[in-house]
Amino acid sequence: MAHDILENSGFAADRKLNIVGTSPIKHDGWDKVTGAAKFSSDLILPGMLVGKILRSPHPHAVIKSIDTSEAEKLAGVKAVVTGADFPKIKEGTPYGDMTRMVMAQEKVYHEGHPVAAVAATSEAVAKKALKLIKVDYEVLPHVIDPVAAMQPDAPILHSYMRTKGATPNDPKVSADRPSNIVERYELGVGDVDAAFKEADVIVERTFDTKPMHQGYIEPQSCVATCSEEGEIELWCCTQAPFVYRDRLSEILKVDGSKIKVQQSELGGGFGGKTAFYAEPVAIQLARKARRPVKITFTRSEVFRGTGPVSGTQSRIKIGCKKDGTITAAEAELIFQTGPYSGSAFTNAPQAMFTRYDLKNVRTVSYEVVSNRPKVASFRAPCVPQVVFGVEGIMSELANKIGMDQIDFRRKNAMADGAKTIYAETFGKIGFIETLEAAKACDHYLSPVPKGQGRGISTGFWFNRGGETSSTLNVAPDGSVTITIGTADVAGSRISISMMVAEELGIPVDKVRAVLADTHQLGFNRVTAGSRTTFSQGVVLVDCARKVIKEMAGRAARIWNVPEEGVEFSNGSFRPAGANVGEFQPLTIADIAKKTTSTEGAIAARSDMNVTGAGPGFGCHIVDVAVDEETGAVEIKRYTVVEDAGKAIHPLQVEGQFQGGAVQGIGWALNEEYIFGEDGKMQNPGFLDYRMPVASDVPNIDTVIVEVPNPRHPFGLRGVGEVPVVPTMAAIANAIGNCIGVRPQSLPMSPPRMLQWIKERDAAK
Amino acid sequence: MTDLRYEAPNSLNAAVALLTEAKGLARVMAGGTDVIVQMEMDQSEPELIVDIKKIPKLRGISAENGGFRVGAATTGMQLCDHKTFAAAWPGVIDGVKLIGSIQVKGRASMGGNLCNASPGADSVPPMIAAGAIARVVGPNGVREVPVERIPTAPGKTSLAKGEIIASFFLPPRPKGSGDAYMRFTPRTEMDIAVTGVAINLTLDAEGVCTAARVAIGAVAPTALLVKDAGDALIGTKVDEAAIEKLVAATRAACKPIDDKRGTKAFRIEVTGVLARRVAMAALERARGNI
């Protein structure tokens, strides 16, 4: 079905806005600050059992047998499940791999891989039952590091795996023998070899980054029930209720119409709650026990069992002329993905240089399996890791040709209509405006304080649209409820409510957003790709316009005038001119009141595959100080400059900018998985997996640039992901300018910093 | 899994009796900021918990013979808020302030911090530097034990079955005394020491150091009193030469391990860096008291 709003958004730069652009208090905010909001573990049902998962102590092993008989005999145990309780689906297929990540079948692929689960009347009984389950393992050699996993003699995780995209020109891969390399992906444009010959300066470096956990505060938790008819209800924290339903339907072989997924409030996701873990297990336990089952992960289970984002190894080369024109760029990128594919690594070659108008680019990327938890999305999946390298080289090139850092990037910046290496042609974009705003901001204009170093970096994210389905219902008192199917992970409800209120000309307080379950709406794509406020905005503004049209018709019939004789403005329907007649304006509430005497309820729904998302660009500026005796890095000042298209709720936009930067600071400075020789994670908790605490970061200053996206009714661009993209590169550049050595490896933690400082001194 | 018994006696004798008669694993709990966490993490499965917070004698700070008597279950925040104690022992307060967050310090005690026997416990090196004496009460009576002799290994103490630390005695402060504690952590708070150094020293009217005790934490199985490091300062004006000796002696005393929190080399290096910084801080405080 064609949707007018996708062709003509109705965006008008001179539209007078009353609500959009203000920052009202979030309707769901009060309950969150008082603790009354209902998160995933807050649901308690009569007869509910506690589910616990038994996890593999080995990083790689064959499961020879599992004996659950003793556990089943324990008083209070109501159900035990293993891989045998899940429908058999071929390994090496998307759903075959998905079901094996939830519960191992033939082999375990990482320490913490689930092998069995119990449901019992108490946590203590469940824990005791886990100890009674006997698993006979044949332990296999394991491999954690992706480069080691690529070697021909590495332990092979999947004997059936052959590298997709293998080519005889590349000795690293072969289509003929088992390999841990899932895929080789090549992307490029132009004549790179010839273009490097035109360069006056070429810089080539290698970089590595570590897997980083999303670090959401709310651990995964869910409650599953099953009716006598076999209808499943699932309550959980998720970014993707509809995707969960459809995947559950596939791996459990149950009709989608018999699975209801209700999203709870979400205590952070950042991409990590786009894939399920405990949910299918809780369902199988509930079906077997015929009782509701709740599974709540401990923090240790979150670290050992759920996805971080990929670590990377990269070699990157960029050449430019003395005037700053980049002639060519090249990259070889390696992404670790855990036991199965799923890193979304192709984002990286597509996005790493995009914002610079390059005519000659060559990239080769590899996705590699290894014996560590399967990766999941995290803000701009796989892009910040490689931008860490790209922007390091950009800074080095600017220094070498003696050009201002921002001017050098401006010289190569993409403008409206630029074509990307993945063959998309941009419409209106705001990268140049973002760079100009960065150059003009107080931070960049201020001298670098003595003893500190300053770094800058830029970043890009695609921003997505996609399938979105919503309804809008007008109550007889004129207040409005909207149902949201694209999960609210960051406060999107208020921004979406504001757009509806603006369109209807009613106060935002009259609009309430409801988190729908999967029975109530058509398919909604996952909240990811910075799509939610954009896509939900389009769909619900469309609903609002439908409702206005419907109400205009009713006003016309009440007044007994032709429909075109009614106009709508500022929340009221009025005669379009004196010739129509004299009538008192009717408000939305006036018409809503008359549902009984008119054609009944006033409601609208809109279901579309939303297009027209505008790409996002950002520029970060950071000042750091380094304690050269301990290697400690202190972030002294940080400014995020980014194009939001139009900030619907500026405080929310600032929060996204700041949150992205703070997560990047953690990734840059201290966060890393530490594995022992035995392949076990040694730091599965917040004490030793060092995310930053509040006192580790300064206030993050923000500059919101607004270059409207004309494909959105209010000009919005997604802002969720760009803010993390430049962070680690900007900090590394600042450190480089402070100590004279630009780090090429993450994390830039004190022991490693001290080592680099000593190496610097030794080289003097 | 075993049934957990919780007791909260209101006298020291009752607590000692409960612990003495306990069959399985018994844990003394003050703030619970370690005991409960370890139970949650399945690292400890006690059959008996003896909560000592209800014993009045174990909480509070009082003057005694020119020094202080501190109940072992006195919370960190009580110590921080006690103006005369904090003024007399700023280095001990440096350590207490670094334990967890304000919320954690509202529960956690120095007695618990010591008996948990983590080599990285932040209040322990400054207590050792202060020359604090633990009063240990048990089935066989009372004994007075220097704090450095309580922990024997990570998670282990010299306390016998049935024994509880009832209180600490911090000795009188001569004029010209100052103490300080610093630790190194990758994060600014909510972290655990990679290394920590405490120094307590006394200057005479001419600024000559007449007494000095140096203790280090997180760089050996237990916090250590480093006699050589203290001796390096005694008889000097704590000049550069003395500080260099202090740094060398402190580094020499480190017996760290490589682990997830730091490498041996990094710990030894930074311990020396801290020793210098802590000496300067203690010196400044001492000079303010002459």
pLDDT tens digits, residue range B75-111?
999 999 999 999 999 999 999 999 999 999 999 999 9
Q: How far is CA A665 from CA A442, A715, A742, B51, in A?
A: 21, 30, 16, 41
Token pair in block for residue A339: 């036991």
Residue of B nearest to A632 (CA): B186
pLDDT at B110 (0 to 100): 96
Residue of A nearest to B4 (CA): A124
* Sequence-ordered alpha helix ranges (H) in A528-649: 532-559, 588-592
Q: Letter for the amino acid at B192?
A: I
DSSP-derived letter for residue A720 is S
How many other C-beta atoms can be found within 10 angstroms of the C-beta atom of residue A309? Answer: 31
Token pair in block for residue A598: 């008119």
How far apart CA A295 and CA A102 sit, in angstroms, is 13
Decide if A125 and B186 are in contact by the 8 Å CB cutoff: no
Place of tokens 């369902």: A283
Closest to A119 (Cα-Cα) out of A87, A81, A82: A81
Nearest-neighbour CA in chain A from B112: distance (Å): 19
Compute φ and ψ for A237, nearest 5 degrees: -90, 120
Residues in A whose CB is inside 8 Å of some CB of B read 124-125, 127-128, 298, 300, 629-632, 669-670, 674, 682-683, 685-688, 690, 692-693, 695-696, 749-751, 754
Q: Of the candidates B40, B186, B189, which has its C-beta nearest A750's C-beta?
A: B186
Residues across chain A: 764
Decide if B187 and A754 are in contact by the 8 Å CB cutoff: no
Q: Domain B177-287 class?
A: alpha beta
How far apart CA B110 and CA B170 sit, in angstroms, is 13
Compute φ and ψ for B76, nearest 5 degrees: -55, -40
Q: In the predicted model, is pLDDT for residue A521 greater than 50?
A: yes
Q: If DSSP codes are grouped into helix, strand and coil, which group holds residue A483?
A: strand
* pLDDT band with cut points at 50, 70 and 90 for residue A215: very high
How far apart CA A483 and CA A53 sit, in angstroms, is 34
Chain A residues inside the 8 Å CB shell of B187: 670, 690, 692-693, 696
Q: Letter for the amino acid at A93?
A: T
How far apart CA A503 and CA A539 sit, in angstroms, is 12
| A344-391 confidence digits (pLDDT tens) | 999 999 999 999 999 999 999 999 999 999 999 999 999 999 999 999
Mean pLDDT in order along chain B per 10 residues (290 residues): 85 97 95 94 92 95 97 97 97 97 95 97 98 98 98 97 97 97 95 96 97 98 98 98 98 94 94 98 94
Nearest-neighbour CA in chain B from A688: distance (Å): 7
CB distance B251 to B271 below 8 Å: yes
CB distance A530 to A463 below 8 Å: yes
Chain B residues inside the 8 Å CB shell of A631: 266
DSSP conformation letters of chain B:
----EEE--SSHHHHHHHHHH--S-EEEESS-TTHHHHHHTTS---SEEEE-TT-GGGS-EEEETTEEEEETT-BHHHHHH-HHHHHH-HHHHHHHHTSS-HHHHTT-BHHHHHHTT-TT-TTHHHHHHHT-EEEEEETTEEEEEEGGGSEEETTEESPPTT-EEEEEEE----TTEEEEEEEE-SSSSS---SEEEEEEEEE-TTS-EEEEEEEEESSSSS-EE-HHHHHTTTTS---HHHHHHHHHHHHHH-----BTTB-HHHHHHHHHHHHHHHHHHHHHHHHTT-
How far apart CA A612 and CA A610 sit, in angstroms, is 7
pLDDT at B261 (0 to 100): 86
Place of tokens 């005394």: B177
Q: Of the candidates B42, B184, B189, which has its C-beta nearest A695's C-beta?
A: B189
Mean pLDDT of chain A, nearest integer: 97
Compute φ and ψ for A222, nearest 5 degrees: -155, 160
How far apart CA A285 and CA A118 sit, in angstroms, is 7
Chain A residues inside the 8 Å CB shell of B40: 298
Region A570-580: mean pLDDT is: 94
CATH 3.30.465.10 spans which residues of chain B? 57-170
* CATH fold match for the domains A47-141+218-267+273-306 and A309-463+614-763: no
Q: In the predicted model, is pLDDT for residue A2 greater than 70?
A: no
CATH of the domain spanning A4-30+465-610: 3.30.365.10
Chain A residues inside the 8 Å CB shell of B188: 693, 695-696
Query: A222: Cβ–Cβ under 8 A, 6 or more apart, which residues?
Result: A40, A234, A235, A236, A237, A278, A279, A282, A294, A295
Q: Of the candidates A682, A692, A696, which has its C-beta nearest B260's C-beta?
A: A682
Token pair in block for residue A381: 């999946």
Query: A356: Cβ–Cβ under 8 A, 6 or more apart, which residues?
Result: A326, A329, A409, A412, A413, A414
Region A288-299: mean pLDDT is: 98
| B20-69 confidence digits (pLDDT tens) | 999 999 999 999 999 999 998 888 999 999 999 999 999 999 999 999 99
CB distance A61 to A138 below 8 Å: yes
State the best of A626, A630, A671 to mutate against chain B, taking most chain B CBs within 10 Å.
A630
Quick one: CA torsion of A665, A670, A675, A680, rounded to 10 degrees? -70
Q: In the predicted model, is pLDDT for residue A226 greater than 60?
A: yes
Decide if B262 and A751 are in contact by the 8 Å CB cutoff: yes
Closest to A531 (Cα-Cα) out of A469, A472, A610: A610
Residue of A nearest to B263 (CA): A751
Decide if A750 and B192 are in contact by the 8 Å CB cutoff: no
Quick one: CA torsion of A87, A90, A94, A100, rounded to 10 degrees? 60
CB distance A54 to A113 below 8 Å: no
A–B interface: beta-carbon pairs under 8 A: 55
What is A309-463+614-763's CATH number, 3.75.10.10, 2.30.40.10, 3.40.50.300, 3.30.365.10? Answer: 3.30.365.10
How far apart CA B80 and CA A252 sit, in angstroms, is 57
* Sequence-ordered alpha helix ranges (H) in A241-382: 241-252, 279-289, 299-305, 347-351
Residues in B whose CB is inside 8 Å of some CB of A read 1, 40-42, 184, 186-192, 194, 259-263, 266, 269-270, 273
CB distance B209 to B235 below 8 Å: yes
Residue of B nearest to A747 (CA): B186
State the best of A688, A691, A697, A761 to mutate against chain B, taking most chain B CBs within 10 Å.
A688
State the best of B42, B191, B251, B268 to mutate against chain A, taking most chain A CBs within 10 Å.
B191
Q: In the predicted model, is pLDDT for residue A303 greater than 80?
A: yes
Closest to A537 (Cα-Cα) out of A472, A626, A451: A472
pLDDT at A764 (0 to 100): 86
Chain B residues inside the 8 Å CB shell of A678: none
CATH of the domain spanning B5-51: 3.30.43
CB distance B188 to B197 below 8 Å: no
How far apart CA A432 and CA A411 sit, in angstroms, is 9
Decide if A688 and B41 are in contact by the 8 Å CB cutoff: no
Closest to A182 (Cα-Cα) out of A353, A390, A369: A369
How far apart CA A411 and CA A196 sit, in angstroms, is 18
Question: How far is CA B222 from its chain centroid?
Answer: 11
Q: Letter for the amino acid at A353?
A: F
Query: A310: Cβ–Cβ under 8 A, 6 or more apart, which residues?
Result: A211, A335, A336, A337, A343, A345, A375, A381, A382, A385
DSSP-derived letter for residue A386 is H
CB distance B140 to B243 below 8 Å: no
Report domain extents, chain A. 4-30+465-610, 47-141+218-267+273-306, 309-463+614-763
DSSP-derived letter for residue A92 is T
How far apart CA B52 and CA B30 sit, in angstroms, is 6
Closest to A220 (Cα-Cα) out of A49, A55, A41, A43: A41
Q: If DSSP codes are grouped into helix, strand and coil, which group holds residue A15?
A: coil
Q: In the predicted model, is pLDDT for residue A1 greater than 80?
A: no
Q: Where are the beta strands (DSSP E) in A649-716?
A: 700-705
pLDDT at B2 (0 to 100): 57
Q: Domain B57-170 class?
A: alpha beta
How far apart CA A709 and CA A706 sit, in angstroms, is 9
How far apart CA A745 and CA A724 sit, in angstroms, is 17
B200: β partners:
B179, B213
Place of tokens 């919503």: A470
Compute φ and ψ for A602, nearest 5 degrees: -110, 115
Chain A residues inside the 8 Å CB shell of B273: 629-630
Chain B residues inside the 8 Å CB shell of A682: 259-260
Closest to A616 (Cα-Cα) out of A732, A525, A705, A540: A705
pLDDT at A280 (0 to 100): 98
Region A41-46: mean pLDDT is: 97
Region A487-506: mean pLDDT is: 96
- Please name the fold of domain A47-141+218-267+273-306: Aldehyde Oxidoreductase; domain 3 (3.90.1170)
CATH 3.30.390.50 spans which residues of chain B? 177-287
pLDDT at B1 (0 to 100): 46
Judging by beta carbons within 10 Å of its beta carbon (0-12, 13-18, 19+), is residue A284 exposed, middle or buried? buried
